Amino acid sequence: MADDSHPSAPGASAPTRWASDIIVDLLHAYDLRYAPLNPGASYRGLHDSIVNYGGNRPEMLLCQHEETAVQIAHGYAKASGRPIVAILHNLVGLLHANLAIYYAYIDRVPVFIIGATGPMDETKRRPRIDWIHTAQSQGEAVRAYTKWDYQPHVIDGVPEAFARGYSVMMTEPRGPIYMCYDAWLQEQPLDHEVAMPPRGAARVPTRIAPEPDALAAVADLIAAAARPVIIAEYVGREPEGFHALVALAETGGIPVYDVDSRLNFPTRHPLNMSHAKDVFRDADLVLCLDTRDWEKPTTELASATREVVSVVPPGAKWIDIGFGDLELSSWAFDYQRLHHADLQILGDTTIAIPALTRLLQARIAKDAALGARIAARADEVAVKSRTLREGWARDARADWDASPISLPRLASEVWDAIKNEDWVLSAGTLEQWTRKLWDFDTPYRHPGRSLGTATQFGISIGVALAHRDEKRLVVDMQPDGDLMFDAGAMWVVAKHRIPMLVVMYNNRAYYNDWEHQIRMAKLRDTPVERAYIGMDLDDPAPDFAAMARSMGWYAEGPLESPEGLADALVRAIACVKAGQPALLDTITQKR
């Protein structure tokens, strides 16, 4: 059943339809606009349908690696809230993409992954190649870290599975799903009408609402608390959550610690106490809002011995509002340590926070003394917050003229260059210096903290793609080790005209791991000067500017001194605003 975007000429005989055209109809119906992919014969039928039946909708983005394809979809959805489709060739393409799929899962990002397998009909398999590229239950390879996977056996089963997969993917907590389409099934002529999902059918269930009586109990606890603190992790996954958290914090005079899996709270707000664990030391109530990572903000870690000590007083009350164990996996421990909260409420914080604010406002309206206590607390927190920011500004001046460049100097120079633009930081916080020095004032400024090595650049491409139409200046503070995993992805950016500014955070090392080896050396009394072995990215040092220029970018570097950095940023930003990606290879201190 074709949709309205594929009309036949009047009087002309209907063109031959193919089974893979049905998949394209669904991609159009669900408005999946882009399709990052690496080519593969297992979906040659679908590829032809997208190009010739669908008019290259979704628009194909050619990638050199399947991991990059999934990361672009990850970044796009994280920045925009809208999914796109990543297409993976067969069993081997799926295995290439495993890490990217896992990170999309633990980052709660909706990615619609389409895969393919060689013919399940043994008589249609090409010698050798279709046998080694065909698996029984191919989705099993990623089942532990996708929300759902399915392989339809007939073309009539494709629409229902597609609709279910979309709904599962977009239901909170969101995550990737995997649809696997048999190669021979795709390539069959379509000899009958296939029922499509009704146009008016709901695509995603409504949000999970919290229990009203439980929210009322939370409002009572906040009203009674002297020193409440909020921890927020995924609240800002939607703009409404960001703004609702501001309203709640201001209503209750409550300091906020932003875990930064999304941008949850304005960085220069007087109630922002992120990066300051001392805010928990005298807390009598800790309110966790859509938070998995409650432990790291509230504990001190001795890394070498792995000893963890809480900074929260033993008598403090804990409240958790979020999705609980709905996303629990029996394979990976991404769910982290069990949180023994005094009150645990299952519900979407996008609904819960405004409702809680209204309840708290009603209590304040009836109790003038409560309002006065809240105002006094807010003033006290504002002083502490301002003192923190003033201290960071002073600390940033240390080693100001040092070469290689200090991270605070680099963060400061980039901020001075972009602060009057409509900017977005795609990834890379320079050990939190961007979060401390820049003004993250609106939800889209930052999609959330970076993930593991080999993820940042691909995700940043997706973020830049999501903001391309708005012509925002997307900045990626890019570590050298991360880019070395997939330097070829720079070609993807130039090929598909995705403007972005990459400023290298190049310390010529995998220094996070180098630091671990230093800790081990000190603990075991082995030579600290040997800790660099297996860690340095030097001798030879990669020339990132040369690599970028070879793939169509504007690039300068290596820049080892802060002198001239401001002018280089002006030149690079001008290129990005003209539509060309730009890279500055800045050499930085090893922290």
CB 538 within 8 Å of CB 509: yes
Preceding peptide of 36 cis, ω within 30°: no
Q: Name the helix (H) or strand (E) containing 149.
A: strand 148-150
Give domain status of residue 591, yes or no.
Answer: no
What one-character-per-residue DSSP string does 213-238 give?
Answer: HHHHHHHHHHHH-SSEEEEESSGGGS
Question: Which residues contact residue 332 at a Cβ distance below 8 angstroms, ignoring those fewer than 6 apart?
Answer: 102, 106, 144, 145
Q: What angle do CA 157, 161, 165 make, to 5 degrees?
A: 170
Same domain for 243 and 154? no
CATH number at residue 231: 3.40.50.1220
Q: What is the pLDDT of residue 541?
A: 93
Q: What is the pLDDT of residue 3?
A: 46
How confident is residue 8, by pLDDT bands cut at 50, 70 and 90? very low
Same domain for 261 and 383? yes
**What's the total number of domains in the chain?**
3
CB 109 within 8 Å of CB 136: no
Beta-bridged to residue 588, according to DSSP, are 405
Would you give the end-to-end CA distance of the chain in angstroms?
A: 59
Q: Which domain holds residue 222?
A: 212-394
Q: Name the helix (H) or strand (E) containing 480.
A: helix 480-485
Preceding peptide of 540 cis, ω within 30°: yes
Q: Choose one of 338, 362, 394: the last residue of a domain.
A: 394
Dist. CA 355–CA 346, nearest whole Å:
14
The arithmetic mean of pLDDT across residues 11-16, rounded, is: 66
Dist. CA 29–CA 78, nearest whole Å:
21
Q: Name the helix (H) or strand (E) containing 435.
A: helix 433-437
Same domain for 422 and 389? no
CB 261 within 8 Å of CB 278: no
Q: Per the structure block, which two tokens stand in for 74?
A: 């990850």
487 closest CA partner among 573, 550, 574 = 550
Dist. CA 136–CA 409, nearest whole Å:
54
182 closest CA partner among 137, 129, 132 = 137
pLDDT in tens, 480-527: 999 999 999 999 999 999 999 999 999 988 888 888 898 899 989 999
pLDDT in tens, 96-110: 999 999 999 999 999
Q: Per the structure block, which two tokens stand in for 543?
A: 């020339």
The arithmetic mean of pLDDT across residues 448-477, rounded, is: 96
Question: Which residues contact residue 559 at a Cβ distance below 8 angstroms, ignoring those fewer than 6 apart?
Answer: 405, 565, 568, 584, 585, 586, 587
Same domain for 356 and 484? no
Residue tagged 């399709």 (tokens): 35
Q: What angle do CA 222, 226, 227 make, to 5 degrees?
A: 85
* DSSP-derived secondary structure letter, 349: H
CB 521 within 8 Å of CB 528: yes
What strands lie across the sheet with 34-37, from one edge to the other? 59-62, 34-37, 85-87, 112-117, 177-182, 148-150
Percentage of the chain beyond pLDDT 70 is 98
The arithmetic mean of pLDDT across residues 554-568, rounded, is: 96
Give domain status of residue 4, yes or no.
Answer: no
Kindly tell me the sign of the dihedral angle through the C-alpha atoms of 371, 377, 382, 383. positive
Q: Choose one of 341, 360, 394: the last residue of a domain.
A: 394
Q: What is the pLDDT of residue 14?
A: 65
pLDDT in tens, 415-440: 999 999 999 999 999 999 999 999 99
Average per-residue pLDDT for the chain:
94
Same domain for 456 and 570? yes
Same domain for 415 and 387? no
Q: What angle do CA 571, 572, 578 make, to 5 degrees?
A: 95
Same domain for 256 and 170? no
The arithmetic mean of pLDDT across residues 459-477, rounded, is: 98
pLDDT at 370 over 70: yes
pLDDT in tens, 347-366: 999 999 999 999 999 999 99
Give domain status of residue 195, yes or no.
Answer: no
Residue 406 is which amino acid? S
Same domain for 273 and 308? yes
* DSSP-derived secondary structure letter, 62: E
Phi, psi torsion values for 333, nearest 5 degrees:
-95, 30
Give domain status of residue 402, yes or no.
Answer: no
Same domain for 278 and 331? yes
pLDDT in tens, 210-268: 999 999 999 999 999 999 999 999 999 999 999 999 999 999 999 999 999 999 999 99
Longest dimension (CA), the chain: 86
CATH number at residue 151: 3.40.50.970
How confident is residue 95, by pLDDT bands cut at 50, 70 and 90? very high
Same domain for 25 and 161? yes
Q: Choose one of 394, 424, 443: the last residue of a domain.
A: 394
Give domain status of residue 1, yes or no.
Answer: no
Q: Which of 11-15, 466-470, 473-477 has the lowest mean pLDDT?
A: 11-15
Q: What is the pLDDT of residue 532?
A: 86
* DSSP-derived secondary structure letter, 30: T
How confident is residue 591, by pLDDT bands cut at 50, 70 and 90? confident
How confident is residue 13, by pLDDT bands cut at 50, 70 and 90? low
Give domain status of residue 11, yes or no.
Answer: no
CB 189 within 8 Å of CB 16: yes
Same domain for 28 and 133? yes
Give domain status of residue 162, yes or no.
Answer: yes
Q: Is 307 exposed, middle or buried (0-12, 13-18, 19+ CB in 10 A)?
A: exposed
pLDDT in tens, 274-304: 999 999 999 999 999 999 999 999 999 888 8
Decide: helix, strand or coil at residue 506: strand
The arithmetic mean of pLDDT across residues 375-396, rounded, is: 97
* DSSP-derived secondary structure letter, 320: E
Ranges of H-type helices in 183-325: 183-186, 212-224, 239-252
Give domain status of residue 128, yes or no.
Answer: yes
Same domain for 44 and 111? yes
Q: What is the pTM of this model?
A: 0.95
